[in-house]
Amino acid sequence: MNQQNQDERTFIREAMDRLLAGKATASNGSLTAAALAAEAGVHRMALYKRHADLKNEFEERVRTETKQVPETEKQLRATVAKLKKTIANQRTELEELRQLVTNLTLASAVLTQGPEAPPAEPAQTPDNVIAFRPHTS
């Protein structure tokens, strides 16, 4: 690890401590990764790419030391809840559509087998079958 990365890591760790203590000097003091990067004086993408472990450590410290949920986790949880609701709505709609297809199929069968259709010849029934309705000839 080169000296620049080592210095950035030191700045980030110091910024973590300041933010968690509520003594921000270079940022708005919010407990976010963007505020951490601003407080440390490093580019936000450097924090996300080169120092992802420190970003994760910061979020874990925010969760444990302040009993707060990081903003990214809140957003992900909201997205998951929204998607679960969407899936439930789609399942309901799919079931309604399946029922509609069944009803339309039955209606189509009734309409195509209307009174114009010639009566089918009665089939020979075996001796061991009792008809529910008597055969009409």
Tell whether the model's pLDDT for residue 122 goes beyond 70: no
Tell whether the model's pLDDT for residue 137 goes beyond 90: no
Q: What is the pLDDT of residue 97?
A: 96
CA dihedral 67, 70, 74, 75 (to 10 degrees): 180
Q: What is the pLDDT of residue 95?
A: 96
Per-residue pLDDT band at 116 (split at 50, 70, 90): low
**pLDDT (mean) for 66-86:** 88
CA–CA distance, 32 with 71 (Å, rounded to integer): 7
* Domains of the chain by residue range: 8-68, 72-108
CA–CA distance, 105 with 24 (Å, rounded to integer): 68
Share above pLDDT 70 across residues of the chain, in percent, rounded to a whole number: 85
Residue 98, CA distances (Å) to 92, 111, 121 in order: 10, 20, 34
Report field, pTM of the whole predicted structure over 0.85? no
